[in-house]
Structure 1
Amino acid sequence: MIPPSWTSAPTPAFSPIPDPLTPARDITHAHFQAGDQVVVIKGVTSGELWGEAVRIVAPSWHTPTDEDGWRLRDATGGAQTFITAHPRYLVHLGRPCPDCLIYLRAMEDYLLPKYAGHDALIDCGWYTTTALNQLVHVADARGGR
């Protein structure tokens, strides 16, 4: 498997497909708490959803959306050990959360059939990071970022 990276793959195996689910997701800041382990779904690999697993550290303003966000920590470190993300990008890991499970199921129903039979890691190209280490979905990107 390709090592995780917060930026999109430079040459994806497939053209990025639109993400109709995440931009419309109605999840508030209060849905998550410091200490929660979460994942940002970025694509598919070997017939399963793929994403970045991180831990929520503290509240943080998400400049790209001008809304409350969360500061996230990647325990594996790297150039972007800490990033800020909007709650709608996040999915609980390791605990049964009905809202997150519904979102995951919808992502599976949408993405998995599109890449059935492909074993490669497919980054859908939905996310990038700003100069301020803010994770931003392409639907939330402002001109000039």
Structure 2
Amino acid sequence: MPETRPVYLPADIHTPDRDITHQHFRPGEHVVVLKGVAGGELWGDAMKVVTPSWHTPTDEDGWRLFDPSGGARSYITAHPRYLVHLSKRCPECLTHQQAMRRYLVPRIDDSDEAVDCRWYSLTALNQLVHIADAAAARSGR
């Protein structure tokens, strides 16, 4: 039987340290949460910013998002540092996206299949939490 290697999923070295304010986003804007790579390009979940909402895992201001493909979890809350503008070309989001692309794309096989790097999970309260924020919460920050 052939030996199978574990899948290598790179750590997200950019998002946890991203310094972005809550005011950077506005209701009605379209954003993406970058989650991995597909076909040599960044891949993620596209959503619409709805309204301010407290982000419990980080104990900071977040945004309530509408995920049109979310099913039972159509509305989730996320921290602003997880979000990248889709509806406008702002310099900060473009810089973050380019840094993620330079770091991540070369580290994942060039496959058409979407590779989710498993940086995010959803809490029971539909709060999107990055693995670094979840670890900080467990350690008491």
Whole-angstrom CA distance in 1 between matches of 2:74 and 2:62? 16
> How many corresponding residue pairs?
132
Q: Which of 45, 56, 60 is the matching residue for 1:63?
A: 56
Please name the residue that 1:18 is paired with. 11
2:29–2:87: 8 Å Cα contact kept in structure 1? no
Q: CA deviation at 1:116?
A: 4.2
- The yes-or-no answer on 1:130 pairing with 2:120 is no
1:62–1:68: 8 Å Cα contact kept in structure 2? yes
Whole-angstrom CA distance in 2 between matches of 1:14 and 1:25? 26
> Where has structure 1 moved over 2 Å in runs of 4 or more?
13-16, 116-120
Task: Give 5+ residue unaligned stretches, structure 1.
Answer: 1-12
Tell me the TM-score normalised to structure 1 length: 0.86
Please name the residue that 1:54 is paired with. 47
Q: CA deviation at 1:74?
A: 1.1
Please name the residue that 1:108 is paired with. 101
Tell me the secondary structure at the aligned position of residue 88 of structure 2: coil
Whole-angstrom CA distance in 2 between matches of 1:140 and 1:98? 25
Larger Rg: 2
* Bigger share in helix: 2
Task: Give 5+ residue unaligned stretches, structure 2.
Answer: 1-5
2:55–2:61: 8 Å Cα contact kept in structure 1? yes
- The yes-or-no answer on 1:36 pairing with 2:29 is yes
Q: CA deviation at 1:119?
A: 2.7
2:10–2:104: 8 Å Cα contact kept in structure 1? no
What CA deviation, in whole Å up to 9, does each residue of 1:88-119 have, x standing for no partner?
00000031110000000000000011124333
Whole-angstrom CA distance in 2 between matches of 1:109 and 1:138? 21
- The yes-or-no answer on 1:121 pairing with 2:114 is yes
Q: Percent identity?
A: 59
- The structure with higher relative contact order (CA 8 Å, sep 6+) is 1
